[in-house]
Amino acid sequence: MDFRQDFIEFALGCKVLRFGEFTTKAGRLSPYFFNAGLFNDGDSLGRLAEFYAKAVDADELGFDMLFGPAYKGIPLVAAIAIALAQRGKNFPFAYNRKEAKDHGEGGSIVGAPLSGRVLIVDDVISAGTSVRESVELIRAAGAIPAGVLIALDRQERGLGALSAVQEVQRDYGIPVIAVAGLGDLMAFLEHHVEFAEYRDAVARYRSEYGVSA
């Protein structure tokens, strides 16, 4: 099975991905919900990091280090760095504090100094706020944002015609790599009869709010 389909199955098994009726931040009634914060034990976080590593391998994006924005990006960036190192790809990583430390080593960046091409890792892109802040931090350090790596791309419109992911690609000129997207979820539903009852609702939602690739 394709690793993207494996990821959907994994997220469902961890109850990180659920079906039902959920109100999004945009006030839309969504037939599914994804909460990456529920990857909250060692086994699930380790397996999640493996999926991120597979997405990196599949995309072949060039980068020199990893950066995880506070707070969700902090455990993610460490776990992904470990998963990549186990594949023979040892990258330095860093993350930021929400407030700069005024004692000890000081500053807002923890870990390796930001340099070269920096891949930002996060769970999802909603409003794009953490991406914007990360890009500003990376550029302020004299480094180059290389792209953004996320778990799930909902592939739905934001306030305009573009999705949050497409807006990031447009505004910063960097690629966004997702482990899986709404299209992968639809493909999963097509081939798993046990979830057939949710297929039409997700298809309607995609028809109403989805964006073209």
- The reported pLDDT for the residue numbered 128 is 79
- The reported pLDDT for the residue numbered 24 is 87
Q: Give the tens place of pLDDT for each residue, 32-89.
A: 999 999 999 999 999 999 999 999 999 989 999 999 999 999 999 999 999 999 999 9
Residue set of the binding site for 5-phospho-alpha-D-ribose 1-diphosphate: 25, 71-72, 97-98, 101, 103, 122-130
- The reported pLDDT for the residue numbered 66 is 98
Higher pLDDT, 159 or 146: 146
| Domain boundaries defined on the chain | 3-209
> Of residues 15, 54, 89, 103, which has the active-site annotation?
103
Give the H/E segment covering residue 184: helix 182-191
CA atoms within 13 A on the CB side of 95: 18
Q: Give the tens place of pLDDT for each residue, 173-184.
A: 999 999 999 999
Residue set of the binding site for orotate: 33-34, 126, 154
Indicate if 101 belongs to the active site: yes
- The reported pLDDT for the residue numbered 49 is 98
Q: Determine phi and psi for 149, rounding to 5 degrees.
A: -115, 120
Q: Distance from first CA to last CA of the chain, Å, rounded?
A: 23
pLDDT band at 27 (very low <50, low <70, confident <90, very high): confident
Residue set of the binding site: 25, 33-34, 71-72, 97-98, 101, 103, 122-130, 154
- Predicted TM-score (pTM) of this structure: 0.93
C-alpha distances (whole Å) from 107 to each of 95, 111, 117, 121 are 11, 11, 21, 21
Taking residues 192-208, report their average pLDDT.
95
> Of residues 54, 89, 101, 192, which has the active-site annotation?
101
Question: What CATH number has the domain spanning 3-209?
Answer: 3.40.50.2020
Evaluated on CA atoms 74, 77, 79, 81, the torsion sign reads negative
Q: Give the tens place of pLDDT for each residue, 95-119.
A: 998 776 554 555 789 999 999 999 9
Coil, strand or helix: which one is 113? coil
Q: What does the buried/exposed string (b/e) look like for 55-85 if buried means 16 or more CB atoms within 10 Å of the residue's CB?
A: bbeeeebebbbbbbbbebbbbbbbbbbbbbe
Q: Give the tens place of pLDDT for each residue, 29-43.
A: 999 999 999 999 999
Whether a cis peptide bond, with omega within 30° of 0, leads into 71 is yes
CB atoms within 10 A of CB 197: 10
Indicate if 192 belongs to the active site: no
- The reported pLDDT for the residue numbered 63 is 98
Q: Rounded to an integer, what distance in angstroms lies between the CA atom of residue 128 and that of residue 174? A: 13
Taking residues 12-41, report their average pLDDT.
94
Asked whether the beta carbons of 51 and 17 are under 8 A apart, the reply is no
